[in-house]
Amino acid sequence: MTIVNSNYGQDGEQALAMQRPSSQSYNKPRAIMGSFQSFLARSQEIECYVPTPQEVFDARRCLLKKVPPELANIILDDACYWPKVSARYATDGNYLTLAASNSLDNDASASCLVTPKLSEWIVVPDAFVMIKKVCFRITSHDQGWCIDNNFPGKYQGSWTWFEAAIVRDFIEDRDIINTEDLQTRIQGALNTRMRNEDTGVVTAKNANEGSDVWHIQTNIRACRHSVTHEVAWTSDTNERDLDADEKEVFCATGSKLGRGFVRSLEMSDRVAVIARAKYPGWSNHIGSVDLEIYYSV
């Protein structure tokens, strides 16, 4: 698993420099259509840009010359002008296969990714940090066949999926110094927590679902080709999607809305992504999992 802080360090600065749009890459528009196409191209490039905390401070300082602090913060949030940190799990071309039949009860789980504590991962001195958005990008597929394939949509009847958990505490955390060893222990505890209550891992509760996980994405049913799904949850999901029918969203996309996830995050938490496969014959083939966490300062 690769943990990346996008805002600090030489590698992060080089990545940011690569993301900045180059004025030399734009051709001078010769007609209205050309101008419009050039505008679209610039918009797509600028959309990928992620500011550093210092750039957010500078932007707020400029805004404060014209507007009150409350409005300055609203402008920055509406523009999604947030720094981010990111983590990645990848198998270098060799997919991780999670087969339900390999578990004792045909209900398998594998923790693909566990982040550090947010307070240790997002370090911005003298700033109040608030998590704004969590994005997942998952490349995966199932076994490519199933016995019952008579469903109206491509996600219904699929029994391989991914879910997110908020790790609030881990008893062994106080005794283990090595970070990689600690993450491995947490992953092992998450994988066995459904069958063993005494794992030492404490997770936040999902009040909307009555569980301790949030459903991220289901694989397309009986599809042996890899598909990349992208899911984004924000801090205002509860209000913005209050009237959305989660069943309709799931039928159309295979994902859920993540209600309450971002707002439940505390700076002492870790975020985990868990792959699942249930019932004989079902297997989850995981190519990569990318996690991005955007925050305001």
pLDDT digits (tens, 9 = 90+) for 7-20: 544 344 433 333 33
> Phi first, then psi: what are they for 53, rounded to 5°?
-55, -40
Both tokens of residue 211? Answer: 């569980």
pLDDT of res. 242: 55
3-state secondary structure of 37: helix
Q: Whole-model pTM?
A: 0.81
Residue 26 confidence (pLDDT): 36
Q: What is the pLDDT of residue 191?
A: 82
What is the number of helices (H) and of strands (E) in the chain? Answer: 9, 11
Tell how far CA 155 is from the center of its chain: 20
pLDDT for the residue numbered 18: 37
**Low-confidence residues in the chain, pLDDT < 50:** 8-33, 36, 39-40
Q: Specify the pLDDT at position 13.
A: 40
Residue that the structure tokens 């289901």 belong to: 218
Q: Cα 110 from chain centroid?
A: 16
In this structure, the number of other CB atoms found within 10 A of the CB of residue 253 comes to 15
219: DSSP letter: P
Q: What pLDDT score was predicted for residue 97?
A: 96
Instruction: Report yes or no: 169 and 247 within 8 Å, Cβ to Cβ.
Output: no
- Report which DSSP code applies to 91: -
CB 86 within 8 A of CB 288: no
